[in-house]
Structure formats: structure tokens, C-alpha cells
Amino acid sequence: MNVVDSCGWIEYFAGGPNAGRYAKALEETGSLVVPTICLYEVFGLLLRQRGRSDALEAVAAMREAQIASLTDTLAMEAATLAHAHKLPMADSIILATARAFDATLWTQDEHFTSIPGVHYFPARPGRP
């Protein structure tokens, strides 16, 4: 199973320099889990940058995978992970979701560099 951080979805949809690194995980929708916080982040960013049509198109692609809602149990695990790893809220929810599904988390977000179960690679120069 795989979970791709919001930055990976955005990189993929934008055709950024690291898009290819996410392609395999994103295109194997049968083993892909999407935390609802990723839907929020990706939709919100694309809505602001590209408009509603592109944002809806992206979310439609994301919905091809299994959507994981934020439950009370997942929220408490996310808070525990946020505390343990000094993670922001969204990142802790994404990590907790990956762990709940025994999935690998794919990201280029530096918050995750030393956390087990994370497939981290650095963003390329000039990209967030």
C-alpha cells in the first residue's frame, strides 16, 4: 500500500521535476490510499492557482484510489505522531493514515527525512 503526500500529488499534476518519482505509486490506484487532508490541500492549492475546473479534475483522479477519512482514532494517533516527531497537523494526519494502512508514505517534504516507513527524496532545486 502507498500514501502520497500532498506535495507529491501537486508535483505530479504540475509535471514537476519529481513527477516521475511519484508516478508508479499514484498510477497503481488499487494499492493507493488518499487521506482526506490531501484532498483538501490539493484541491485548495489548485483552486487558487488554476481554477475550479482543474481542481475538480485533480480530485476526480485522486478519488480513483481508496479515500481514508479522518476518524477519532486516527486523529489521536496523528496528534501522538505530531508530538513525537514535531510535525505540523496535516503532515501528522498523513503519516498516521499511512501507518493505519501499513502503507509507505511517499514525500519530498523535509519534515519526514528520518521517519521510518517513509520514502523521502529531496525536492529538486527551484521546487518547493
pLDDT tens, residue by residue, 76-125 = 999 999 999 999 999 999 999 999 999 999 999 999 999 999 999 998 75
Question: For residue range 16-45, what is the model confidence (pLDDT) as tens digits?
Answer: 999 999 999 999 999 999 999 999 999 999
Cα–Cα distance between 127 and 125 in angstroms, integer?
6
Q: What pTM was computed for the model?
A: 0.93
Return the CATH number of the domain spanning residue range 2-120: 3.40.50.1010
Interaxial angle between packed helices 6-14 and 52-62, expressed in degrees from 0 to 180 and rounded to the nearest 10: 120
